[in-house]
Amino acid sequence: MNPDITFIRPALSVAPMMDCSDRHYRYFIRGITGCTYLYTEMVSTAAIVHGDRRWLLDFDRCEAPLALQIGGSDIDEAGEAVAAAEPWPYDEINLNVGCPSDRVQERGLGACLMLRPEHVARMVEAMRANTAKPVTVKHRIGVDELDRYEDLVRFVSVVREAGPARFTVHARIAWLEGLSPKENRNIPPLRYGDVYRLKRDFPELDIEINGHITSLADADEHLRRVNAVMIGRAAYDTPWIFSAADQFLDDRGIAGSCGARAMCNCRAVVIERMISYLQRWYRAGTPGRKIVRHMLGLFAGLPGARHWRRSLSGRLPDDCAPILRRMLEELPYESLTEPADDPPPVEAPKRADEATPAPQG
């Protein structure tokens, strides 16, 4: 990050996902999109303060633009963690206020912090006091019985006083009792309307929407109402949807200050790039399965997808580069060389006499 240039974030991001959005996945997705904003998995503040920072925080330069997500509940520790991470060139530090897992709840962090907006505000203050980078918050529209729009407004009204640069809102409430994290990502109904309303009621805030957005066409719809869109599972399961992302962002003038472009124009080139990466990590002692497991969705929906998934699953040798080389020979040529997707067309602004009337009431 060049300190003389103000960094402006692209309006599309891949969500933080534990066990998924690690540095190997991020390197892989960078072959497909140069500009989409990326997040780390949640890293606990305690781990940053007491653990092996290089192992936790190092990343490849190509992963930028990249935000570090932290999870914690102790105000001083959050400040310390941010100070400790400051030498790493992340573009932003994000606080997790959305995760409902039992383990996270036991430590009083994640979604249960939504019950304590004043505390979250103090955490954001402590984080901001220790970094020059933007500090942002990722949260739910509500938690347990705090499930009304008014509760969301109260949370945001209190936390905004601490000056976060963005609110990323997962458009479902979290039920802390009785639902697993997976169920909490599927069962509570999606309420995109609450997020749109938040943006209307707080037009000065930077609001990013998240929750079951699975295509750039869907993202385009949301971007008419909010500042940015975050995509999680679809980015992991069907990564090629991001092959149109750089063009999508450019066409709409929402790439921010990111000028990066994807390095690969078809899946075969993505694989070639990952072969060199695998070799590098294999020489450093990392077994290939830790890397190729993130690539299973590369051929989703195409002929050869099953063969690809099977070949990269099960018991794998430590050196997986030969498997990828074999795939370049065995997968259908058309699947390997299919070009990047076309982004959805930019809809021309409507003339005043064509405009849809505003909803009444």
Ligand X SMILES: Cc1cc2nc3c(=O)[nH]c(=O)nc-3n(C[C@H](O)[C@H](O)[C@H](O)COP(=O)(O)O)c2cc1C
The binding site for ligand X (CB under 6 A) comprises 15-20, 41-42, 69, 96, 98-99, 138, 170, 185, 210-213, 231-234
The minimum distance between CB 126 and ligand X, in angstroms, equals 19
Q: Which amino acid type is present at position 233?
A: R
The minimum distance between CB 340 and ligand X, in angstroms, equals 21
The minimum distance between CB 131 and ligand X, in angstroms, equals 19
Extended beta strands in 207-359, E state: 207-210, 228-231
Active-site entry in 99, 112, 258, 320: 99
The minimum distance between CB 292 and ligand X, in angstroms, equals 17
For residue 193, give every residue at least 6 positions away whose Cβ sits within 8 Å of its Cβ, in sequence order, or none: none
Q: Are 144 and 176 in contact (CB under 8 A)?
A: yes
Q: How many CB atoms neighbour CB 352 within 10 A?
A: 6
Bridge-based pairing state of the strands 228-231 and 207-210: parallel
Question: Is 62 known to be catalytic?
Answer: no
Q: Are 56 and 47 in contact (CB under 8 A)?
A: yes
Of 111 and 327, CB closest to ligand X? 111
> Closest CB to ligand X belongs to which residue?
232
Of 11 and 275, CB closest to ligand X? 11
Q: How many CB atoms neighbour CB 190 within 10 A?
A: 15
- Per the DSSP assignment, residues forming a β-bridge with 229 are 12, 209
CA distance 18 to 218: 24
Burial of 94 (0-12, 13-18, 19+ CB in 10 A): buried
Of 91 and 338, CB closest to ligand X? 91
Q: Are 301 and 238 in contact (CB under 8 A)?
A: yes
Of 241 and 324, CB closest to ligand X? 241
Of 133 and 294, CB closest to ligand X? 294
The minimum distance between CB 11 and ligand X, in angstroms, equals 15
Catalytic residue list:
99
